[in-house]
Amino acid sequence: MTAPDSSRIRVLIADDHALVREGLRYVLDADPLIEVVAEASNGRIAVELALQHVPDVVVLDITMPEETGLKAAARLRELLPATRVLLLSMHDQGEYVREGMRIGTHGYLLKDSAGEELRAAIRAVYAGGTFFSPAVVRRLSTADAVGESTPVAQLEQLTPRERDVLGGVARGLTNKAIAAELGISRRTVEAHRESLMRKLQIHSVAGLTRFALETGVVAPG
């Protein structure tokens, strides 16, 4: 048995349509740094195969039979916390995106995205960041799509340095990495992080990422 190539990003794809899976595999096989290690036709099988193969990234369609992508994502975040989860959907509804963020997934991509965008999304989440289709970000930023106004007033409460730290958190950086990037101590980063979380009343990375995207602190992808 040949040992897996540790230099490649190992990906599991899950979609209930065989033609879609074939298309996804074709797109990903075009990148020599990405290896598709398994395919699943529903969320339940996706979780089973993920436990077997332990991929770096799982690409999950949201609407699948037996177990939806969102339910599978929640299980994967619990069972394989080191595996990155990228949601794939035909829908850009804010509630789907927000639920994915609440669960702790790392990105949301629309099915009509170009192949290079999918490959870029996988590379981004594998590297520790997040990736959201531009159309998804626009949807989140539209007040009537989510039933509430964009929290610009909350953003204005933050100091410039707190905004810098927020941007680093939303990009998936650790406190140590943010400190190195900004040229300040890790302890100072921690203080700014606690302060901005208190001001925003947001206490999860997923929530901070959503806020940063909605307010333009970080750009999608």
Q: What is the pLDDT of residue 150?
A: 47
Residue 13 forms beta bridges with which residues?
39, 59
Q: Is the distance from CB of 121 to CB of 60 less than 8 angstroms?
A: no
Q: Is the distance from CB of 87 to CB of 58 less than 8 angstroms?
A: no
pLDDT-derived band at 50 (thresholds 50, 70, 90) equals very high
User: What's the length of the chain?
Assistant: 221
CATH, range 151-215: 1.10.10.10
Average pLDDT over residues 155-167: 85
Q: CA triplet 187, 190, 194: central angle to 5 degrees?
A: 145
Q: From CA 5, how far away is CA 35, in angstroms rounded? A: 9
Q: Please, what CATH class does the domain formed by 9-145 belong to?
A: alpha beta
Residue 112 structure tokens: 């009509």
CATH 3.40.50.2300, the chain: domain bounds: 9-145
pLDDT digits (tens, 9 = 90+) for 31-43: 999 999 999 999 9
pLDDT digits (tens, 9 = 90+) for 63-122: 888 888 888 999 999 999 999 999 988 876 666 777 888 888 898 888 877 788 899 999
95: Cβ contacts below 8 Å, ≥ 6 apart: 146
Averaged pLDDT of the chain = 84
Confidence (pTM): 0.64
CATH 1.10.10.10, the chain: domain bounds: 151-215
| Percentage of the chain modeled with pLDDT above 90 | 44
Measured in whole angstroms, how far is the alpha carbon of residue 130 from the centre of its chain?
A: 4
Q: What is the pLDDT of residue 149?
A: 43
105, burial (CB in 10 Å: exposed 0-12, middle 13-18, buried 19+): buried
